[in-house]
Amino acid sequence: MSRNTMSFALPESMRSYIDDRVRGGDYGNTSEYLRDLIRRDQQSEAARRLRLLIADGLESGEGRPLTSDVVDELRTRAFSRAV
């Protein structure tokens, strides 16, 4: 995994908060704390996206039996959107 450095400015109150979390032993250093926040944000965003997809599915109309033809159609649609 490549490591990239990122620099940014924080208000003193935020920096102090991060330092307190690290000193408290919850994180080994500032980078660990920030990586954990980003991972949590990624998980939150994935959960939000899943909720939206479920809502779209529920609003899409009457269901239909899951046959091999339907599965093939869904695969085709999914792969055409991924490109």
With contact defined as beta carbons under 8 Å apart, do 28 and 22 qualify? yes
At residue 56, the pLDDT reads 94
Q: What is the mean pLDDT of each run of 10 residues along the chain (83 residues)?
A: 86 97 96 97 96 93 91 90 62
At residue 81, the pLDDT reads 73
Q: Please name the residue ranges forming H helices in the chain.
A: 12-23, 30-59, 68-82
